[in-house]
Chains A and B, each alone.
Chain A
Amino acid sequence: MTTSQPPVDVAAVPPAPPEDAPRTMGRFNIWDTPWFNARLMTGVGIITAILLMGVVGQFFWDVGMATERDRTARFAPPVGFTNFRGEPGSWAHPLGTNNLGHDMLAVALVGAPNTFLIGFIAATIGLGVGIVLGFTGGFLGGWIDDFIRLISDVTLTIPALMVLIVLNSVLDRISITTMALIIAAFAWPRATRQIRSQVLTMRESGYVQMARLSGASTFGIMFKEMLPNLIPYLFASFIAGATGAILAAVGLETLGLGPQNVPTLGGTIYDAYRGSALSANFWWWWGIPTVLLAVMFVGLLLVNLGLDEIANPRLRGRK
């Protein structure tokens, strides 16, 4: 994962003290669970709103306008504003249009969920691979561990930008899924390394030693004993990974390496800075995707903080 930001590190998420995890069990009032904390709920609410916007929006607004050019209205400002030519905004394009006459509302409705989707798919794959390889390597050790470490180190060291530019010229069109796969391909080594080190730590803990002494199978120990204890940690890793993947995707899109003919937030910013949007004060062109990104980021951040409260009961009630 390379791009303009250093990737969110899975290690950034505090490791879950194993003893804390099963705490939610055995409560009687189902509403009295740490999963219903304010931060988590707000965060989930924000993310859901953005996704819903994309799903529901198409019934109220012609999202096809995100890629169709309105020849009569280019550089149209949002309603209530005028552009540098003195043209006022109109309800035909409530959030204005870009240089080609693409409707910005439609771009927002389609682009935000698209961008989120890329992060979601990439984080799922990255973390999934990370869990399997991290557990395998950390628990089994030996040459398997060495091999896993070798391929993950190789992947870590390859300049991903090079791979992306080449892929861009080999593939005629990059889709949302391809984009997500590309990012996942560079995200898994990090997840693998971090999970492996968690596993190494946990392997020495009392309950794993106990399970081992009682003759549980390797597979059983790994996925029945250790994995459940890591779940809050993995959740947090997932959110951190999704945030990182979204920002990585946006970074690539702003280099012009994103999906073509599909509106994305990063792609919109790329078009904007190539089109003198700053000088011409087309603030809605780069401003709308930026605000959406910020909102999405805040949502994910809140989810992450909320998950921390679940993983770390000490934090509850503290602000």
Chain B
Amino acid sequence: MGKIPRSYLLRRLGIFFLTIWFAATIIFIIPRLAPGDPISAMVGDMTQAGGDVENSQAIIEGWRARFGLDKSLPEQYVRYLGNLLTLDFGYSINAFPTPVGEVIARALPWTLSLLLLAMVLTFAIGNFLGAILMWRYTPRLVKMFIPVTMVFTSIPSVLAALFLLYNFAYVLGWFPDANAYNVGEVVPGFNLAFIGSVIRHGTLPALAIILVSFGYWTLGMRGMMITVEGEDYMQLARAKGLAPFYVLYRYMIRNAILPQVTAFAITLGTLVSGQVLVEYVFQYPGMGKVIYEAILAQDFPVIQGASFFLITMTALAVLLVDLLYPYIDPRISAGGES
């Protein structure tokens, strides 16, 4: 690891594990601060559905015992930490006896495919627009047009989603309105019908996400391009008479995009919680919906399992950014030691 001293690497790894532990502790505590508890809420829901529930006390006691919620908080915490180590989050309370792992596994592929794809596209489109916005050879008309499209950024994602749903699914009927694929009509698997169906179902949600968020990257890229423009090597490249496209790609974008990539890594964590409403509007069976519903139902094990997954993902991304930073910006040495 040429540039990274071992002591720094160890310290950074230490911070990584501490981060996960601290964050895991916080996600243990926070749901328990809410008034009420998941079992009473569940029985309350039953009350709501079916008039009164006779013997609800007996039911509450039974469930508390089964989920260890009758134990003291320290005991629950120790058990929780033990579960973290084995990645076993037990059973969902709201959907007992479904294991938390299964709940997450069912939603994860959809989230990864839809949201990750949408984010990568957003990143690509946004940065491309930002780059040509500052490029001196871009036609004026295009330069006028790009800032106008950025107004989309101010539209709340739910509204964009509803709008697309209303116009393209209901009024025009070009796209399906719900689900992730034609349930019951195509066989999930590696076949064209299924993949086509997934793409058709994913288009509108992905579009909603892209529309409201590419502007951030455009803005950021624009800023980085300004900085790059002023660098000496740019003068040199131009003086050498290199082709404008070659300069744009090789000198400008290549240099300007690095900080954007770091920003992208940090944004990964918000990937899931960010698009809850888009998933909700399109009835898309992803992680955002799982987390949102689990929080509303105070389903501790699912909240903890899903959050732990997010935490690990974000912490890993942040760790990578920190370890890669010295490679990205030569002016910085690892850990800031001079």
Residues of A at under 8 Å CB distance from B?
1-9, 11-15, 17, 138, 141, 145-146, 149-151, 153-154, 156-163, 165-166, 169-170, 190, 193, 197, 200-201, 203-204, 240, 247, 250-251, 254-255, 266, 269-270, 273, 278-279, 286, 290, 293-294, 296-298, 301, 304, 308, 312, 314-315, 319
Contact = CB atoms under 8 A, between A and B. Distances in A.
Contact of B27 (A9, A15, A159): A159
B332 interface: yes
Contacts of A240: 219
B248 interface: no
Interface in B1-58: 11, 15, 18-20, 22-23, 26-27, 30-31, 33-36
Contact of B157 (A4, A141, A158): A4
Given A6-B267, A193-B266, 4 more contacts: A6-B274, A157-B310, A165-B296, A247-B154
7 contacts: A4-B278, A7-B216, A11-B262, A150-B15, A157-B23, A273-B162, A293-B154
Nearest to B158: A254
Contacts of A190: 266
Mostly, the B contact residues are helix
Contacts of A308: 223, 226
Contacts of B224: 12, 14
Nearest to B313: A157
Nearest to A5: B213
A164 B205 CA distance: 24
A4 B212 contact: yes
A203 B156 contact: no
B99 interface: no
B159 A2 contact: no
Contacts of A269: 156, 158-159
B151 interface: yes
A201 to B, nearest CB: 5
A71 to B, nearest CB: 28
Q: Name which of B15, B216, B278 has the most chain A CB atoms within 10 A of its CB.
A: B216
A84 B159 CA distance: 21
A269 B227 CA distance: 38
A248 B289 CA distance: 18
Given A5-B157, A301-B147, A11 B30 contact: no
A200 B336 CA distance: 6
A156 B314 CA distance: 8
Nearest to A314: B230
B263 interface: yes
B230 A17 contact: yes
A9 B220 contact: yes
Contacts of B338: 203-204
Contact of B291 (A161, A170, A286): A161
A286 B140 CA distance: 33
Nearest to A168: B34
Mostly, the A contact residues are helix
B312 to A, nearest CB: 8
B168 interface: no
Contact of B154 (A138, A166, A296, A314): A296
B72 to A, nearest CB: 21
Contact of B156 (A250, A298, A314): A250
B19 A153 contact: yes
Q: Name which of A5, A7, A15, A190 has the most chain B CB atoms within 10 A of its CB.
A: A5
Interface string B302-326: 0100110011001100100000010
Nearest to A161: B273
A6 B159 contact: no
A173 to B, nearest CB: 15
A243 B314 CA distance: 23
A200 B332 contact: yes
A277 to B, nearest CB: 9
A42 to B, nearest CB: 13
Nearest to B11: A146
Nearest to B219: A12
A162 B26 CA distance: 11
B150 interface: yes
Q: Name which of B119, B158, B329 has the most chain A CB atoms within 10 A of its CB.
A: B158
B94 to A, nearest CB: 15
Given A157-B23, A273-B159, A301-B147, A138 B34 contact: no
A293 B155 contact: yes
Contacts of A165: 295-296
B34 A170 contact: yes
Given A5-B216, A11-B263, A269-B158, A162 B307 contact: yes
Contacts of A141: 335-337
A270 B158 CA distance: 9
Nearest to B329: A201
A286 B211 CA distance: 18
A12 B310 contact: no
Interface string B127-161: 00000000000001001000100110111111100
B226 to A, nearest CB: 5
A296 B34 CA distance: 35
Contacts of B110: none
B47 to A, nearest CB: 18
B150 A301 contact: yes
Contacts of B259: 11
A278 B147 contact: no
A245 B336 CA distance: 30
A197 to B, nearest CB: 7
